C-alpha cells in the first residue's frame, strides 16, 4: 500500500465542508480505488470558531492559507477560497513554489491568471487541476483533456450558470417578471455577493474561457469573451419566444475559425425541443463537438455542496493514482495566443424595440433593416402606451455585423425609443 496522500484545505464554505464529508464518508472506497488513503492534514478559513457541521479538531488549523500551503507535511494544496487575486492567488503560488500539487475550484483566478499559473506548475513538475471550476459536478474538464483528447474540437457551447437558468425558467413557469424572480433567487441564496457575476454573464464567461483554452489549445483569454447578461430579458420576451417554439438561455459558445477565436456568453433563443431548450432550473449543460466523435451532451448539477465537492475529489483521486496531466490538456508553453473574433456565421435574430408612437416609425425601421441587407421573417406589434408601441421582429439569417449596423442607424432616427433587445437564434 502506498503512503497516504496528505492534503490541506483552504476555505471551509459549502464546497470545503463537502470535501471533508466525502473523505470521511468514503475513506474505504477512496483507498480501494487509488491504492492509498487520503488524509486531511490541515485546514484554513476566515473563522476558526464557526460551527460548520463537521468535526475539525483532528486537523491542524492555520490562520494564514499561505503558511498552510508551504507546510512540509502537505502533498496537495486544495484552494476553495475563491477570488481572482488576494489570498487565493498568493496561496496557490506559494504552494507551487513549495513543490505542492494544487487542486482548485476557482474559475475567476484561472480565467485571469491561468496561463501564468499553469506555466509555473509545469515548470516545477507539479499539477494544477480544476475540474470543479466549470459546471460543478459535470466532468467536462476530464472529458476534454482525456476522453476527447484525440479529437479536433470544433465547437463548445452550453448553459454554465445555474442561477441564470433558474431565473429564466422560473420566469417562464410562474409568469413572473425578471425583478421579482431576481429577488426570489437572492432570498434563496442563489446569487453571488456581487449579483452581476451571475446575471451579467461574468461567472459563466470565466468558465467558457477555460473550456476554450482546453478545446482549442489557446491561452486563456477571458477579456476576449463577448459578455451580455440577462437583466434586459422581460417576461414578454419569454412568452414571445415560447410562442415561436423557443426558450431563452444564457448560452456560451466558443469556436476557432480562420478569423480567430469566437467566445460569446449571451442570452440566445434555442429550440424548445433541443436538449438545451429542455434544461430547467439550476442544472447546467455543456455540449462538445469534435471532428470524429460528433456531438457529446453533458448534463448535471452545476453547483452545490455534493456536486462541486465530487469534482474536487475527482482531481484529488487522480493525483492519488499518479495521473498527471498538463493544466490545459497540453503544455502551457505550447498554447497559442488567440486573436479574438466576432461571430460571422449567419443566423436569425430576434429584435424587440419600443417604437415612438407616431406615423412612419415602423416604415423607418423596416427601411433601415433593408438598407443593412436584413430581411424580415416575421413581425408583430402588440399593445402601446401614450408614447411608445412595442414591436417584435424576427429576421431571416443575417450577420451580427449587419445587425450592429442597423442598431447604430436606429440610434440616429427618432423612430425608436431606447436600445432594442437583440437575441441570436442559435442552431443547436
Residues annotated catalytic, as ranges: 207
Q: What is the DSSP string of 215-261?
A: HHTB---GGGSEE--STT--HHHHHHHHHTTEEEEEEEEEEEETTEE
Of how many residues is the chain composed? Answer: 428
Q: Which residues pair with 60 in a beta bridge?
A: 42
HSE-CB for 345 with a 13 A CA cutoff: 17
Q: Which three cell numbers stand for residue 68?
A: 498552510
Q: Which three cell numbers stand for residue 74?
A: 502537505
Q: How distant, in Å, are the alpha carbons of 148, 249, 259, 338 from that of 334? A: 19, 34, 20, 12
Q: Which three cell numbers stand for residue 122?
A: 509545469
Chain centre to alpha carbon of residue 292: 25
Distance of alpha carbon 215 from alpha carbon 251, whole angstroms: 17
Distance of alpha carbon 17 from alpha carbon 377, whole angstroms: 53
Distance of alpha carbon 5 from alpha carbon 287, whole angstroms: 34
Q: Which three cell numbers stand for residue 411?
A: 440610434
Q: In a 3-state reduction of DSSP, which class is residue 10?
A: strand
Do 153 and 290 contact (CB within 8 A), yes or no? yes
Which residues, 6 or more positions from 183, have their beta carbon under 8 angstroms from its beta carbon? none
Closest C-alpha to 286, from 166, 165, 132, 156: 156
**E-state strands within 65-160:** 76-79, 101-104, 128-129, 153-159
Between helix 107-123 and helix 86-97 the angle, nearest 10°, is 20
Q: Which residues pair with 103 in a beta bridge?
A: 78, 129
Q: Alpha helices of 255-386 — where are they, by DSSP H?
A: 305-321, 361-371
Distance of alpha carbon 316 from alpha carbon 295, whole angstroms: 29
Amino acid at each position: 500500500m502506498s503512503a497516504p496522500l496528505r492534503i490541506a484545505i483552504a476555505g471551509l464554505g459549502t464546497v470545503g465542508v463537502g470535501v471533508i464529508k466525502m473523505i470521511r464518508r468514503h475513506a474505504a472506497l477512496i483507498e480501494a480505488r487509488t491504492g492509498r488513503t487520503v488524509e486531511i492534514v490541515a485546514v484554513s478559513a476566515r473563522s476558526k470558531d464557526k460551527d460548520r457541521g463537521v468535526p475539525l479538531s483532528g486537523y491542524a488549523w492555520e490562520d494564514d492559507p499561505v503558511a498552510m500551503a508551504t507546510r512540509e507535511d502537505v502533498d496537495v494544496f486544495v484552494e476553495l477560497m475563491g477570488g481572482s487575486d488576494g489570498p487565493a492567488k498568493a496561496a496557490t503560488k506559494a504552494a507551487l513554489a513549495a513543490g505542492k500539487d494544487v487542486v482548485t475550484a476557482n474559475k475567476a483566478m484561472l480565467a485571469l491568471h491561468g496561463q501564468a499559473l499553469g506555466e509555473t506548475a509545469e515548470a516545477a513538475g507539479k499539477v494544477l487541476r480544476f475540474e470543479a471550476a466549470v459546471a460543478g459536478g459535470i466532468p467536462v474538464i476530464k472529458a476534454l483533456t482525456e476522453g476527447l483528447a484525440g479529437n479536433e474540437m470544433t465547437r463548445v457551447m452550453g448553459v454554465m450558470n445555474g442561477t441564470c437558468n433558474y431565473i429564466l425558467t422560473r420566469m417562464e413557469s410562474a409568469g413572473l417578471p425578471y425583478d421579482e424572480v431576481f429577488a426570489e433567487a437572492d432570498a434563496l441564496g442563489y446569487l453571488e455577493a456581487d449579483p452581476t457575476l451571475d446575471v451579467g454573464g461574468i461567472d459563466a464567461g470565466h468558465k467558457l474561457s477555460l473550456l476554450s483554452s482546453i478545446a482549442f489549445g489557446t491561452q486563456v483569454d477571458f477579456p476576449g469573451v463577448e459578455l451580455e447578461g440577462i437583466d434586459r430579458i422581460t417576461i414578454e420576451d419569454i412568452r414571445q419566444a415560447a410562442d415561436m417554439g423557443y426558450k431563452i438561455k444564457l448560452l456560451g459558445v466558443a469556436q476557432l475559425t480562420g478569423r480567430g477565436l469566437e467566445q460569446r456568453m449571451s442570452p440566445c433563443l434555442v429550440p424548445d425541443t433541443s436538449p438545451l431548450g429542455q434544461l430547467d432550473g439550476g442544472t447546467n449543460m455543456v455540449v462538445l463537438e469534435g471532428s470524429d466523435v460528433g456531438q457529446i451532451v453533458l448534463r448535471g448539477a452545476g453547483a452545490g455542496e455534493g456536486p462541486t465537492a465530487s469534482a474536487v475529489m475527482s482531481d484529488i483521486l487522480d493525483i492519488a493514482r499518479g495521473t498527471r496531466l498538463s493544466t490545459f490538456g497540453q503544455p502551457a508553453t505550447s498554447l497559442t495566443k488567440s486573436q479574438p473574433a466576432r461571430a460571422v456565421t449567419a443566423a436569425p435574430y430576434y429584435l424587440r424595440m419600443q417604437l415612438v408612437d407616431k406615423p412612419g416609425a415602423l416604415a423607418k425601421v423596416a427601411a433601415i433593416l433593408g438598407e443593412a441587407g436584413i430581411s424580415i421573417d416575421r413581425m408583430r406589434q402588440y399593445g402601446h402606451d401614450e408614447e411608445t408601441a412595442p414591436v417584435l421582429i424576427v429576421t431571416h439569417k443575417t450577420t451580427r455585423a449587419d445587425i450592429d449596423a442597423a442598431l447604430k442607424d436606429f440610434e440616429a432616427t427618432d423612430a425608436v425609443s431606447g436600445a432594442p433587445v437583440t437575441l441570436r437564434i442559435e442552431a443547436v
